Amino acid sequence: MKRQSGSWDAGTHRGAKRFASNRVVMPCVLKFLTPEALASAIIGKGGAAIAQMRERTQARMSLTEHNELFPGTDSRVLTASASESSQLVELSRLIIDKVIEAAGDAQGDLRLSILVPKAAVGGLIGKGGANIKQLRETSAAKISIAEAAGQGPAAEQVVSMTGTRMALEMIMEEVNKQALGFCDEFRPIVRALSAVRDMTNSPLVKRKEI
């Protein structure tokens, strides 16, 4: 498959919507690890496939350069952001279509890896591992979670899943739910910082000349 060059940003909107007051509304975000075959399938010939996915979901999508791989992997990072989690659920289904296309086999087990904030991973695992145990049993999929890269609740962990199409869709719906909870948790902080920025940029605020 022909390699695509350069990074791709197929969104027509900013990653975060802004009100008239210019305050940021934190979007829902998902990050996928994409080996070369999957990245090529997602982009498509002349960028047609990624443009179609963007149009269908109204999500913003950007892919790192060929030489910008996630540490310890052979994968580029596809970042998708949208104002509603339902958009990312739909996008996840389209990405799984591309996993099947890249694998060339819809019958065997599929593999997909994503980056999830540490705080959201905690919700995915659940108290005493109850949530992830139930998810494994319900989906019959293999789910592995790597150690966090970095510190703090926003540090990311690689969540890898192997199973049928239906299993992957089930897991991605749960990941979306946990990621949305993480987004909501930090939304007040983002709004507070935006308010401070707006106040600082206000023409009513006198600035001392140096």
Q: List pLDDT tens digits, range 39-57.
A: 999 999 999 999 999 999 9
Residue 160 lies in a domain: yes
Q: Which helix (H) or strand (E) holds 54?
A: helix 48-57
Residue 145 lies in a domain: yes
Residue 8 lies in a domain: no
The residues, any chain, with a CB within 8 Å of residue 111's CB and separated by 6 or more, are 99, 160, 161, 162
Q: For residues 85 and 16, what is the distance between their CA atoms, to the nearest angstrom?
A: 13
Residue 201 lies in a domain: no
DSSP state for residue 149 in the 8-state scheme:
B
Residue 7 lies in a domain: no
Q: For residues 164 and 143, what is the distance between their CA atoms, to the nearest angstrom?
A: 12
Section 164-185 average pLDDT? 83
Residue 40 lies in a domain: yes
Tell how strand 28-34 and strand 76-82 pair up: antiparallel
Which tens digit of pLDDT belongs to each residue from 66-95? Answer: 999 999 999 999 999 998 888 999 999 999
Q: For residues 116 and 121, what is the distance between their CA atoms, to the nearest angstrom?
A: 6
Number of structural domains the chain divides into: 1
Residue 91 lies in a domain: yes
Residue 10 lies in a domain: no
The model scores a pTM over 0.85: no
The amino acid at 109: D
Residue 187, domain extent:
27-196
Q: Which helix (H) or strand (E) holds 133?
A: helix 130-139
The amino acid at 103: A
The CATH number for 55's domain is 3.30.310.210
Give the pLDDT confidence score for residue 155 in this predicted structure: 86
Q: For residues 11 and 92, what is the distance between their CA atoms, to the nearest angstrom?
A: 16
Which tens digit of pLDDT belongs to each residue from 108-162? Answer: 799 999 999 888 899 999 999 999 999 999 999 999 999 987 887 778 999 999 9
